[in-house]
Amino acid sequence: MLPMMSTMISGQLEEDKDQYKNLLKAQSKSYVLNDEIVEGVIKVFSKQLDSICLYENQISKWHDEETLSTTLETNLSKSQVQLQELSKVITNILDLFDKLKNGTIEKVMGKSDLELGMEFFKK
């Protein structure tokens, strides 16, 4: 099961890194996002963050086994490092979208011309 789990972790890490790069593009123009998209992204990545503990628990169980080969021990350590990195990437995505949720198209459209003008000149 370890090779399958390692593949899942590394695949998710690479996908989330790519996704984070794409999501960073929205940082300067959060108005292209709507509330539904922002809420969906937050929901998906919050679930991913919650699932990391499942992987960590399984790795801990495997570490507790006394008959692990050197190769398995190495693979477990690599998976732990990847989980830490994955956790950081997901946290970065969630932090980004926590900021972007205040600039969605619905939020912009709900502001008065005066509010929009004041924000423009603050930049």
pLDDT in tens, 28-87: 888 888 999 999 999 999 999 999 999 999 988 887 876 778 888 888 889 999 999 999
Alpha helical stretches, state H, 25-112: 35-64, 70-100, 105-109
Residue 59 and residue 45 in contact, taking contact as beta carbons nearer than 8 Å: no
Predicted local distance difference test score (pLDDT) of residue 123: 63
Report the C-alpha gap between 23 and 17 in whole angstroms: 10
Residue 78 and residue 44 in contact, taking contact as beta carbons nearer than 8 Å: no
Which domain range does residue 31 map to?
A: 2-122
Give the number of domains in the chain: 1
Residue 96 and residue 27 in contact, taking contact as beta carbons nearer than 8 Å: yes
pTM of the model: 0.82
